[in-house]
Structure 1
Amino acid sequence: MLNIMKKANAMLNKVFTGLSVALLAVVIVATALQVFTRYIMNASLSGTDEVARFAFVWMSMMGASLCVRNHGHAVVSVLNDSLRNKPKAQAIHSVAVQILIMIGAAVLVVCGIQLVIATGEQSSAGLGIPISYTYACIPVGGAGMVINSLVNILEEISCRKGGDAS
């Protein structure tokens, strides 16, 4: 069961990674175009600022999900460092942190869905696309965080029970 979840999660994370890289390229190109047209051509290209902003927020939310899986999020490690010689307590701490991340991410999913619904009729000023497309990154990224936290918890439990977490 854990191996199936890990494979599905790895596929999801590959999609998030690929999309994040593509969106980073979009941010770079849109920003470069904006700078070039504004300062070299003395005329601003319409919509590039919104494209860069929308790509950036999507990239950030998918990147946050990837950070959860790789334990790359910001931490205050004082408690974890003090538990270095107590592997059982450290495992409990790790699971507790992942549960808190999962709760926070679940809030993002629920509130993000509400935000997407609430902004369904609004359009962006420059591009005219629905604002809800931009806000959809919140529940998508939150769902990725929930899934990654769940896999991290299951791996930690599997390791402590003597199972193979690979």
Structure 2
Amino acid sequence: MYLVLKKITDGLTKILQFLLIVAMTLLVFDVVWGVLTRYVGGEQASWTEELARFLLIWVALLGGAVAFETKSHLGVDYFVGKFEQSVRRNLQLLSHVVVLFFAISIFILGGGRVVYDALVLNQTTPALGWKMGYIYLVIPVAGCFMVLFTINNLLETLRLGCDEETEKVD
């Protein structure tokens, strides 16, 4: 099961990384266009700042989800490294459970509620006229990726812990 989940998460990570590259490229072009229209045309295109803000939100949240899979997120490794292996493993398991709780309760449930409310209230963006619910959709989407990636990391921690115990017995 772990290997199947690992293949799925690896594939999703590659897709997300590609989408993040595209979003960052769009963000750069959008900001450059905004600067050009301000200095060449005398007035910035009204939609460029809004689009840049939304792209940055999507890049930050989806990039955070990718960071969970690639284990690139910030951690307090210095203090964890001071403990013996069994304690470190238990701290890793605890951190995975805390991340799962946070991702499910805040990102998926809370973010889903924000999306629902924004769509029901028919909130739209001022310059682009997009529905805000679609902008907020990144919150539960990133939460689903975080849950999937954290479950993968949790299984990996359990698997490695079992492998270490097996090696000690041999």
TM-score, with structure 2 as normaliser = 0.90
Alpha-carbon separation, structure 1, partners of 2:133 and 2:15? 21
SS at match of 1:119: helix
Match of 2:167 in 1: none
Match of 1:71 in 2: 71
Give 1:127 deviation, angstroms: 0.4
SS at match of 2:128: coil
Alpha-carbon separation, structure 2, partners of 1:48 and 1:152? 38
Greater helix content: 2
What letter matches 1:115 in structure 2?
V
Gaps of 5+ in 1: none
Alignment of 1:43-82 (within 5 A): 43-82=43-82
Give 1:97 deviation, angstroms: 0.9
Give 1:78 deviation, angstroms: 4.6
Match of 1:97 in 2: 95
What letter matches 1:132 in structure 2?
G
For residues 58-111 of structure 1, the C-alpha deviation after alignment (integer angstroms, 9 at most, x for no partner) is: 11111000111122222233530221xx11111111111111111111121110
Alignment of 1:124-163 (within 5 A): 124-162=125-163
SS at match of 1:75: coil
Alpha-carbon separation, structure 2, partners of 1:6 and 1:75? 22
What letter matches 1:116 in structure 2?
V
Alpha-carbon separation, structure 2, partners of 1:26 and 1:53? 12
Alpha-carbon separation, structure 2, partners of 1:71 and 1:43? 43
Alpha-carbon separation, structure 2, partners of 1:17 and 1:70? 11
Alpha-carbon separation, structure 2, partners of 1:12 and 1:110? 22
Alpha-carbon separation, structure 2, partners of 1:15 and 1:106? 22
SS at match of 1:82: coil
What letter matches 1:149 in structure 2?
T
Alpha-carbon separation, structure 1, partners of 2:160 and 2:145? 22
Q: Alignment length, in residue pairs? A: 161
Alpha-carbon separation, structure 2, partners of 1:81 and 1:10? 27
